[in-house]
Amino acid sequence: MLKKLIVHNFALIEYLNLDFDKTLSVITGETGSGKSLVLDALSSVLGGRCNTQNIRSGAQKYQIEALVDVSKSPKAIQWLEEKGFSYENGEVIIKKELSLDGKSRIQIGTSLAPFQYLKDFGALIAEIHRQNDQLYILDKNTQLEILDNFALTNAMKNEVSESFKTYITLKNRLEELENLRTEKLRNIDLRKYQIEEISDADLKSDEEDSLLKEENLLINGEKLIENYNVILNSMDISEGSIISLFAPILNSSEKITLINPEFQVNKEEFNDIYIRLKELYNTICDEMEEIFFSPERLDFVQSRIDLINRLKKKYGKTIKEILNFKKEAESELETLLSSNEQYDSLKNQLNKVIDHLSELSVKLSKQRRNAIPEMEIELQKEFAKLGMKDAKLQVVLRWEESSDGEVQNGNKTYLLNETGLDKVEFYFTANTGEKPRPIRKIASGGEISRVMLALKSIMGRDGYEKILIFDEIDSGIGGEVANNVGEKLKQISEDHQVILITHLQQIAAIGAEHIKVEKEVVKGRTVSKVRQLKTKERAQELAKMISGENITKGALEHAKELLFQKAV
């Protein structure tokens, strides 16, 4: 509920400081006195738009502050907590400033807030019903909410909403997987190819060095054999070779040793050299025999080296890195293949959620449809009491057909949303014989206000308190109808705070609080003054509303009687 409203420099209002009753407050005053400015200021601080023309002439900005008790509005408290705005003892302060340069400053609790947050919060705590405004009741989502309140289907709607959120989460995840699936399939094929290519190469970690050595030998095979033959020909036992020359050396060494035993050392060294030369000769012969020069083998070795070099360009600088790449590719392939299993599992889960959601939504729609006839009958009774005996409101319920729909019914599919299958729109006619049409297209401001009253009357308590603001709801009515409207307002104020502008004494009399707006000239400037009337002043004001500026004794007595009836 609204507890206090403070306004600085808003149009004709220089300063205003009002405390509001928790039930019903009425605002009265002469035409042009500035009554609507109070609601304009209240609308602005609750998320309505105002421009710099609303800044009082000579001022740099307007400032509006509202103290709101949200202790009986769980939705508002939840919103504040989710957005991180502070409140204390169930109360929150809202402030709004607008400067001449068009810059605005909005504060909720102790924190600055964007305009959209103010608008969203205002919609949670208040409904403003004004003539020529896009009113609350014209919104189709609101119309569905009204039907659910009457049909007592909010619990089921919440269940549908939670199920729908789960469905959307799974659907989005599945769509992400589907978008990635083609890419993943390509990656699977790529990884399979890479693994197969490396596997087919059958690489060994030390293979490259040995291949390079073999290539070098094969390339230079003829030159090697040629030089090996030169060495062997110089060393073999043929006449004139190195080994054949050692026979006389050894023979002479033996003779010298017989004469000079000290030569024995030299003899042994010559003998060792001879033995080593023969061994070296045999080794070289073996090596030369092992030299295998084959163009086919050279082609194979070089092809193998080329293969390794190609793989190195793709997968790593060394064979070790190539083999590590293969290991990582095998691991990734396993993950990619398991993601396909995840996709299938998620799809099965999604199908189960859709089935459950569809079943719930159909059940919810049935309950709504069953409640519509009773709701329409009750509304017609209320319209008659509010001076619209020929008025009729029809609740039209439709399912949205779409090829992308989730719910199958016969040969058609229908779209789901967080409120179920139903699209609701109120159709209205105020006159007998006229075909009902969408209420947003044909109803006048006064009619819409009374429709809202009728709806509030049949719905009873919504489950949480709201601020209901009505601007001239009594337009075009009088007499007994005005009394009935007043009674409805009083009834509604038991569950919601009601603030309204009225020109009718019957409605003004029911207010728990009476606020009067007057226009005065102060220091050569026009200002709108706002004050709360006491009991005696209220009788005077009601009498003036009855008989005009010249208050008659009869008018004053009638005013006192109205106040007495209201008190009783």
pLDDT digits (tens, 9 = 90+) for 268-291: 999 999 899 888 988 888 877 766
pLDDT of 81 higher than 90 = yes
How far apart (Å, rounded) are the C-alpha atoms in residues 352 and 506?
Answer: 59
Instruction: Give whole-number Cα distances, 542 to 164, 506, 533, 554, in Å.
Output: 54, 9, 11, 12
Residue 329 lies in a domain: no
Q: pLDDT per residue over 315-339, tens digit each? A: 988 899 999 999 998 888 887 777 6
Q: How many CA atoms lie within 13 A of 437 on its CB side?
A: 10
Residue of 418 and 50 predicted with greater confidence: 418
pLDDT band with cut points at 50, 70 and 90 for residue 177 = confident
How far apart (Å, rounded) are the C-alpha atoms in residues 337 and 352?
Answer: 24
pLDDT of 444 higher than 90 = no
How far apart (Å, rounded) are the C-alpha atoms in residues 37 and 58?
Answer: 18
The burial class, CB within 10 Å (0-12 / 13-18 / 19+), for 26 is buried
Highest-scoring range by mean pLDDT, 236-250, 389-403, 498-512: 389-403
- 493 backbone φψ class: left, alpha, beta (φ>0; ψ -120 to 50): alpha
Asked which of 130-139, 496-505, 549-558 is least confident by mean pLDDT, the reply is 130-139
Residue 435 lies in a domain: no
Averaged confidence pLDDT in the chain: 86
Residue 498 lies in a domain: yes
pTM as predicted: 0.60
Mean pLDDT computed over 113-131: 87
Long-range contacts of 210-218 (CB under 8 A, 24+ apart): 211/301, 211/304, 211/305, 211/308, 212/305, 214/301, 215/298, 215/301, 215/302, 215/305, 217/291, 218/293, 218/294, 218/297, 218/298, 218/301
Supply the pLDDT for residue 446: 65
How far apart (Å, rounded) are the C-alpha atoms in residues 333 and 351?
Answer: 28
Mean pLDDT computed over 126-153: 79
Supply the pLDDT for residue 230: 82
Single-letter amino acid code for the residue at 132:
N
Residue 184 lies in a domain: no
Q: Is 348 strand, coil or helix? A: helix
pLDDT band with cut points at 50, 70 and 90 for residue 134 = very low
Q: Tokens 């009399």 appear where?
A: 509
pLDDT of 64 higher than 80 = yes
Domain that holds residue 89: 1-131+463-533
Residue of 100 and 460 predicted with greater confidence: 100
CATH number at residue 26: 3.40.50.300
Contact 448, 393 (CB under 8 A): no
pLDDT of 554 higher than 80 = yes
For 454-463, b where at least 16 C-beta lie within 10 A, e where not — what string? bbbbbbeeee
Long-range contacts of 329-334 (CB under 8 A, 24+ apart): 329/191, 329/194, 329/195, 329/198, 330/191, 330/195, 332/187, 332/191, 333/188, 333/191, 333/192, 333/195
Mean pLDDT computed over 340-369: 90
Mean pLDDT computed over 479-486: 78
pLDDT of 243 higher than 90 = no
Report how many domains make up the chain.
Answer: 1
pLDDT of 245 higher than 90 = no
Supply the pLDDT for residue 141: 86
Residue 49 lies in a domain: yes
Residue 51 lies in a domain: yes
Instruction: Give whole-number Cα distances, 220 to 55, 209, 302, in Å.
Output: 100, 17, 14
Q: Beta strands 2-10 and 13-19: pairing type? A: antiparallel
pLDDT band with cut points at 50, 70 and 90 for residue 187 = confident
Residue of 382 and 65 predicted with greater confidence: 65
How far apart (Å, rounded) are the C-alpha atoms in residues 443 and 254?
Answer: 143
Enumerate residues 6+ apart whose C-beta is below 8 A from 319: 203, 204, 205, 207, 208, 308, 312
Residue 501 lies in a domain: yes
Residue 281 lies in a domain: no
Supply the pLDDT for residue 568: 46
Supply the pLDDT for residue 340: 67
Max CA separation in the chain (angstroms): 176
Supply the pLDDT for residue 443: 61
Tokens of 341: 């299993």
How far apart (Å, rounded) are the C-alpha atoms in residues 197 and 454?
Answer: 79
pLDDT band with cut points at 50, 70 and 90 for residue 131 = low
Supply the pLDDT for residue 179: 74
How far apart (Å, rounded) are the C-alpha atoms in residues 27 and 472?
Answer: 10
